[in-house]
Structure 1
Amino acid sequence: MADVRDMYMAHTMFRREFRLLPQLVRDVAPGDIQRAEIVATHADKVCLILHLHHEGEDKAVWPRLLERGGEATAAIVPTMEGQHHGIESALETVTALLPTWRSTAQGGEEVAAALDLLLDRLLEHMALEEKEILPLAEKYITAAEWAELGEHGLANSPKKELPLAFGMVMYEGDPEVIKAVLAHAPLVARLVMPILAPRLYASHAKRVYGTPTPPRVGA
């Protein structure tokens, strides 16, 4: 059945990146277009990863839980779906505001406030998902079906962005879980990703946060 440890790892990444984003935006001086470009590009990346992650759940997880879980899932899945709608609405607001802020570095507080709202909704959702959904997924969803979540993200992400995205997850990831995830990847990815992905994230974090080691969720 499903090994859901990779979901906890993804959630850790989302908690870190989305908690840091509002202050990143607020720290950009009005008119500093060069810095706004860096932060907005980062925001776009993590927003896309989150959108694809939830889109995968909508397609691969909720229908199967409703079909197989009886009363246990009927009581919680609609709540999850409703939270996804709220998160997606907040994501759309953020992504609609980013282009103007990126090009002008004006109106940053509006962007930061939209990110605050997104963070609040996301934290509530992930906590409930970990408490209620992941135990059900282990019971009702097969490993092959669970793998469809990652496959959806891979298929719909720009290929050049995948190593960086994996590096974001690896930064605080459990080495055993990382190894289990890569076990299903092609040989070249298994050999290269553990070396390339952390380096790409360290370089990216240096540019975004000013340090290759941004604050960890567990720190």
Structure 2
Amino acid sequence: MNPNRNEPMADVRDMYMAHANLRREISLMPKLIQDVAPGDTKRAEVVGEHASMVCGILHQHHEGEDLLLWPRLSERGGAEAEAIVPTMHAQHHAIEAANAEVSRLLPGWRATARGGAELAAAFERLRAALMEHLATEESQLLPLAEKYVTAAEWKEMGEHGRRVTPKKYLALITGMTMYEGDPEVIKGVLAEAPLLVRLIVPIVGRRAYAAHAKRVHGTATPQRFSTPAR
């Protein structure tokens, strides 16, 4: 059943912000791994922890779409959804397979700093699958979400992500996502939060990511990979 047209519909601009985070961190990963000297387990642990967190973010992001977005679009979008939702499912499966391969190789490299070339190549395959998927989702899927998903339903995906994210990473992941975010979009995401949260979260999140990026990437301002929202 289609939503009541009197309800506000999804503002999908925050998805571009989430996608920019994934594009950046996964695109930078192969070189991060290649730059770790064989046997340098201290550096491998720093990069490996970051890699594990990023792979978790990717999995949780797609889990939310699988559970809360694709079914609604399939139910409401008719031929428009039939033309793209199966592609989204197939791409998610391919990305999960690549993510699983990375996750299989990561612990051994993280512990020994050996086998970096194989792990970097696995991340490159994950990157290629993800880039194709994000571009397709942005050009073909998000316009349908604006038509068929309400603002309240869209918000459920963000709530799902917060529920499944380990609390120790919440501030950091918030800062990671905001790094390439439009200030107006960030303001909208926080609009319903208490005033103190709206004031504090952007500051704490940005500081957390700046410190983390300096440790992982060697700079508080790593290369940006965002695609501007329409």
1:81 aligns with 2:83: no
Could you tell which deviates more after superposition, 181-190 or 77-86? 181-190
- Residue matched to 1:149: 157
How many residue pairs were aligned? 219
Residue 181 (structure 1) aligned with residue 189 (structure 2):
yes
In 2, Cα distance between equivalents of 1:91 and 1:97: 10
Amino acid at match of 1:119: R
How many Å apart are 1:216 and its aligned residue? 1.4
1:95 aligns with 2:114: no
Counterpart residue type for residue 113 of structure 1:
A
CA drift of 1:191 comes to 2.1
Gaps of 5+ in 2: 1-8
TM-score with structure 2 setting the length: 0.93
Describe the superposition over 1:149-184 as per-residue Cα deviations: whole angstroms up to 9, x where unpaired: 111110001112111001001111100000100113
Matched, 1:70 2:78: yes
CA distance in 1, matches of 2:126, 2:107: 17
Q: Could you tell me how far apart the structure 2 residues matched to 1:132 and 1:215 are?
A: 27
Kindly indicate whether residue 215 of structure 2 is the aligned counterpart of residue 207 of structure 1.
Answer: yes
Q: Which residue of 1 aligns with 2:55?
A: 47
Check the 8 A contact 2:32/2:47 in 1, yes or no: yes
Give the structure 2 partner of residue 34 of structure 1.
Answer: 42
Partner of 2:5: none
Query: d(CA) in 2 for partners of 1:186 and 1:108?
Result: 45
User: What is the percent sequence identity of the aligned residues?
Assistant: 63
Measured against aligned partners, the alpha-carbon deviations of 1:5-46 in whole angstroms (never above 9, x if no partner) come to 000111111111111000000000000000000000000111
Alpha-carbon shift at residue 218 of structure 1 (Å): 5.4
Other-structure match for 1:171: 179
- 2-structure distance, mates of 1:20, 1:199: 20
One-letter identity of the residue aligned with 1:114? A
Alpha-carbon RMSD: 1.1
Q: 2: distance between equivalents of 1:165 and 1:188?
A: 19
Q: 183, 195, 207: which is aligned to 2:203?
A: 195
**4+ runs deviating over 2 angstroms:** 184-189
Please state how far the C-alpha of 1:186 moved relative to its aligned partner: 3.8
Which amino acid letter does the alignment assign opposite residue 21 of structure 1? M
Task: Quote the residue 1:112 is aligned against.
Answer: 120
CA distance in 2 between partners of 1:163 and 1:178 (Å): 14
TM-score normalised over the length of structure 1: 0.98
Aligned residue in 1 for 2:19: 11
AA of the residue aligned to 1:175: P
